[in-house]
Amino acid sequence: MLDGKRIVLGVTGGIAAYKAVELCRLFVRAGAEVRTVMTAAAKEFVAPLTFQSISRNPVFSSLFAGVERYDHVHIALAEWADLFVIAPATANCLGKIAAGIADDLLTTAVMAARCPVLLAPAMNSAMYENPVTQGNLQKLQALGYRFAGPEEGELSCGETGRGRLAAVELIFEQARALLAAEKLLAGLNVLVTAGPTREPLDPVRYLTNHSSGRMGYALAAAAARFGARVVLVSGPTSLARPWGVRVVDVTTAREMREAVLPEFEKCQIAVKAAAVADYRPGSESGTKIKKSGELTLHLVKNPDILEELGKLKGERFLAGFAAETEDVRENALDKMRRKNLDLIVANDLTEPGAGFNVETNICRLLFRDGTELPLPKMSKDLVAETILREIAKRYRKQ
């Protein structure tokens, strides 16, 4: 099942460390090559020789002893791995990864890893429920780390609650699913835009819209999971940066245009999910505009970035979004033609659970070749994966 797959198994210092031996055995029996990294505390619970015997590989725990090269053991492990699994992952280990602390072999190797990382937390339930731990888990999840468990049940300390290591069979299954993930966009450069733009009126005010950036961030994260090199040009959002994605921050539509054009040259696929302001104030006041009766704003048109990309398109696959409140399909089709797109994703903003600033979306994919794919209400993550799967199918056929 896992023939030829390379797994780094990180073991940290918790009583559940003994269960990691069984997990190691499952990986090896399925055909994977396993290299185990143990923290100093883990070695207090289980002898390295146990993992060494089961994996038939040396066990690593020192930053200063080599794999192939003596000087960069953490980098060599990170480059070697198809998947990183940390089981059990203690509160301390999760906290260090979330805070960017790399002070031993395991945390430095994880920091250098570009492959998926699966964390199986295990700890006392009070430690698990502690807001600091919960904050760390949320942060790690937003950054793209995957989790198996923890489960509820009897804990080694005698308490009952959430914090028990997930069943090793479940961790194994999740690891297998991650290793099987399709690399549909491997070798391709993908450009995604996300979020709103802000058009300044004076030093304290601006024009913008309700875009949270979620749709575009989900697309960038999914493209990275599918193996692409991803650049995300993002308007202002409060979202965590997706794992494995290069982010270019911009504020205004004109800045977005400046950032997008050079990236477009290098990409094979571009998906423009950003809600770019169509207009900006004709002039920006250098001082705060004072209140005095009525105020009339003079707005000028912003560049239409997508339209410009449509003219430069060449062999690239170019996708846009259309957020509409009436005649959704017709307006979207019109935009696809005018902007020379291969795909337009139409959002009907009148439907609850679709469009701006919600976790879900309801989209209709309209392709240049006439194919239409209406999607039910789905999480933006799932919408993103569906869109990219359809794009990959068509791009590879071109």
Please report whether residue 274 would count as binding ligand PMT according to CB under 6 A.
yes
Looking at 96, 302, 387, 395, which residue binds ligand PMT (CB under 6 A)? 302
CB of 349 to ligand PMT, least distance (A): 7
Please report whether residue 255 would count as binding ligand PMT according to CB under 6 A.
no
Q: Which stretch binds ligand PMT (CB under 6 A): 50-58, 74-82, 241-249, 274-282?
A: 274-282
Please report whether residue 206 would count as binding ligand PMT according to CB under 6 A.
no
371-384 core/surface letters (b: 16 or more CB in 10 A; e: else):
eeeeeeebebbbbb
CA dihedral 378, 382, 383, 384 (to 10 degrees): 160
Which of 163, 192, 149, 165 has its CA nearest to residue 18? 165
Return the number of the residue (19 or 380) whose C-beta is nearest ligand PMT: 380
Looking at 136, 212, 252, 360, which residue binds ligand PMT (CB under 6 A)? 212
Task: Give every CB contact of residue 274 below 8 A, 6+ residues apart in sequence.
Answer: 193, 194, 195, 196, 197, 211, 216, 233, 234, 235, 256
Return the number of the residue (5 or 272) whose C-beta is nearest ligand PMT: 272
**Backbone phi, psi, residue 36, to 5°:** -100, 135
Looking at 7, 20, 322, 365, which residue binds ligand PMT (CB under 6 A)? 322
Q: Which stretch binds ligand PMT (CB under 6 A): 33-41, 117-125, 146-154, 303-311?
A: 303-311
Please report whether residue 213 would count as binding ligand PMT according to CB under 6 A.
yes
Active site residue 93: no
C-alpha distances out from residue 280 to 170, 191, 214, 304, 346, Å:
53, 25, 23, 12, 24
Looking at 7, 275, 318, 391, which residue binds ligand PMT (CB under 6 A)? 275
Return the number of the residue (154 or 334) whose C-beta is nearest ligand PMT: 334
Q: Which stretch binds ligand PMT (CB under 6 A): 42-50, 135-143, 225-233, 301-309?
A: 301-309
Exposure of 7 in the CB half-sphere (CA atoms within 13 A): 31
CB of 235 to ligand PMT, least distance (A): 9
Looking at 306, 336, 365, 388, which residue binds ligand PMT (CB under 6 A)? 306
d(CA 160, CA 212): 39
d(CA 254, CA 250): 9
Looking at 304, 329, 386, 394, which residue binds ligand PMT (CB under 6 A)? 304
- If 0-12 CB within 10 Å is exposed, 13-18 middle and 19+ buried, where does residue 271 land? buried
Please report whether residue 89 would count as binding ligand PMT according to CB under 6 A.
no
CB of 202 to ligand PMT, least distance (A): 22
CB of 388 to ligand PMT, least distance (A): 14
DSSP-based three-state secondary structure for 392: helix
CB of 216 to ligand PMT, least distance (A): 6
Looking at 45, 80, 356, 367, which residue binds ligand PMT (CB under 6 A)? 356
Q: State the Cα angle at 100 between 95 and 103, rounded to 5°.
A: 85
Which parts of 20-39 interact with ligand PMT (CB under 6 A)? none
Write down the H helix ranges in the chain: 17-29, 42-45, 48-55, 73-80, 91-99, 105-112, 125-129, 131-142, 168-180, 214-225, 253-266, 305-312, 328-338, 380-397
C-alpha distances out from residue 247 to 23, 228, 241, 304, 350, Å:
36, 14, 7, 21, 31
CB of 142 to ligand PMT, least distance (A): 14
Looking at 104, 123, 320, 388, which residue binds ligand PMT (CB under 6 A)? 320
The mark string for 369-398 relative to ligand PMT (x by CB under 6 A, - otherwise) is: -----------x------------------
Q: Which residue among the candidates 93, 115, 157, 267 is catalytic per the annotation?
A: 157
CB of 214 to ligand PMT, least distance (A): 4
Cβ-contact 368, 320 below 8 angstroms = no
d(CA 331, CA 376): 20
Exposure of 99 in the CB half-sphere (CA atoms within 13 A): 11
Cβ-contact 297, 201 below 8 angstroms = yes
CB of 257 to ligand PMT, least distance (A): 8
The residues binding ligand PMT (CB under 6 A) are 195, 211-215, 253, 272-276, 278, 302, 304-306, 320-323, 335, 347, 355-357, 380
Residues with a known catalytic role: 157
